[in-house]
Every structure is written in C-alpha cells, then in structure tokens.
C-alpha cells in the first residue's frame, strides 16, 4: 500500500515485527513514534499477562498501531475516500483520526498481519467501539498509559486504579476523564457508541 505514498520509505521485510517496525520507522525519520510504539507494546504485554491474553498478539498490536504516522493526514483522507469507505464528521474535520484505520491497512497489506484480533485492536485504538474485544481494550488502554507526550498522563492514576477492576472499567475511566477535562476535539461516532456500551456493562 505504501506505493500510493511516494514519500514513504519501505525497507525490505524480515518478517519479524520486532526488527521490521524499528527499521520502517527509522527509515522514515520517526524516532519518537518508535519509542512510543515500543512502550505501548510493553504495556500491552503487561496487560496481556494481567488478563490472560496472548502476549504476542498484544505486542504486535502495540508495535503496529501507529505505523501509518508516516502518511500525511490529508493523504489518509484521500486514500479512504478513493476506497469508497465512509468518513465520519470527526474524521473529516481531523484527518489524523483516520490513522487507526490506515494502520490496520498497513498492518495487513504491508506487514502481512492476518490475525483479526490484532487488526481489530489497531483499527479502534484511538476511539474504541461498541462490543470491543479484550484485545481492543488492552491496546486502547496501553496506548493511553504509554502516551506519546512528556511526563505522566493526567488520567494515569484513575485509569490504573480502574484497570485493577476490569478492562471495561479502565476504558470508561479514560473516556470519562477525557470528556470532562475538555481534551475531546470532536466525538467520533465509534467513541460515542463505545461509551454507551461500556456504561451498560458497568
């Protein structure tokens, strides 16, 4: 798929994500993204142990979730539109929200990932969605705890506390904190549906 984006460098694959992802992100000048995805893979692996999930799936999802950061947001919109796929209001206003969907395409089409649990988690790691799987929720939480900004996230304590109860509680704790703190840019359709679903479950 990266042939559609001539400015993206795609080194030859070894088919080992632990080396292919660093090689790809370094070739495209994204050391901060690399540090972030490696931290997310680590946290997602810890959540896997806590909740009896497959650690290798969680690490793969962590490593690949932001792989499309090398694509310009306007080009993401162009790509999704050319495929004839729907774009919600939030994605139309903030094109970078499409990176979760673009990362799924890249994981499948470029890195050859076929595991639906991994692909689904990547596709909803920013917004979550209703009927989320444990893998969806594990990556969603890991991405927020190992955020890509300096220092500790403002919601760190509340999410870690909720994570002791359940994956659902941790997701809802983060989402409610985000909505009440004014950090929400524009509610994505899947985010709104996920909040309703999580509230019904708790």
Angle at CA of residue 103, ends 124 and 13, nearest 5°: 140
Is residue 91 a contact residue for Fe ion (CB under 5 A)? no
Distance (Å, whole) CA 172 – CA 85: 28
- The yes or no reply on residue 143 touching Fe ion (CB under 5 A) is yes
Q: What is the closest distance, in whole angstroms, from the C-beta atom of residue 13 to Fe ion in the complex?
A: 22
Cβ 64 to Fe ion, closest distance in Å? Answer: 10
> Which of 5, 42, 9, 15 lies closest to 28, judged by CA?
9
Q: Smallest distance, Å, CB 200 to Fe ion? A: 26
* 20 interacts with Fe ion by CB under 5 A: no
Of residues 47-76, those binding Fe ion (CB under 5 A):
66
Nearer to Fe ion, 20 or 66 (CB): 66
Least Å from the CB of residue 32 to Fe ion: 11
- Asked if residue 178 lies in contact with residue 170, where contact means CB atoms within 8 angstroms, the answer is no
Burial annotation 23-62 (CB, 10 A radius, 16+ → b, else e): bbbeebebeebbebbbbbbebbbbbbeeeebeeebbbbbb
CB-nearer residue toward Fe ion: 14 or 184: 184
**Smaller CB distance to Fe ion: residue 66 or 91?**
66
Which lies closer to Fe ion via its Cβ, residue 31 or residue 199? 31
Q: How many CB atoms lie within 10 A of CB 13?
A: 14
Q: Where do contacts with Fe ion occur on this chain (CB under 5 A)?
A: 66, 143
């Amino acid at each position: 798929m990266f042939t559609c984006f001539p400015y993206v460098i795609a080194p030859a694959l070894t088919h080992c994500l632990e080396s292919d992802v660093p090689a790809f992100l370094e070739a495209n000048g994204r050391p901060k993204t690399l540090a972030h995805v490696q931290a997310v893979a680590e946290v997602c692996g810890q959540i896997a142990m806590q909740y009896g999930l497959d650690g290798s799936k969680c690490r793969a999802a962590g490593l690949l979730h932001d792989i499309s950061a090398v694509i310009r947001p306007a080009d993401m919109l162009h790509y999704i539109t050319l495929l004839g796929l729907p774009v919600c209001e939030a994605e139309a206003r903030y094109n970078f929200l499409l990176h979760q969907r673009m990362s799924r395409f890249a994981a499948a089409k470029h890195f050859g990932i076929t595991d639906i649990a991994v692909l689904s988690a990547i596709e909803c790691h920013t917004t979550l969605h209703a009927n989320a799987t444990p893998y969806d929720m594990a990556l969603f939480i890991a991405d927020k705890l190992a955020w890509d900004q300096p220092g500790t996230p403002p919601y760190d304590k509340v999410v870690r506390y909720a994570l002791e109860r359940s994956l659902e509680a941790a997701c809802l704790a983060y989402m409610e904190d985000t909505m009440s703190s004014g950090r929400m840019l524009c509610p994505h359709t899947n985010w709104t549906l996920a909040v309703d679903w999580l509230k019904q479950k708790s």
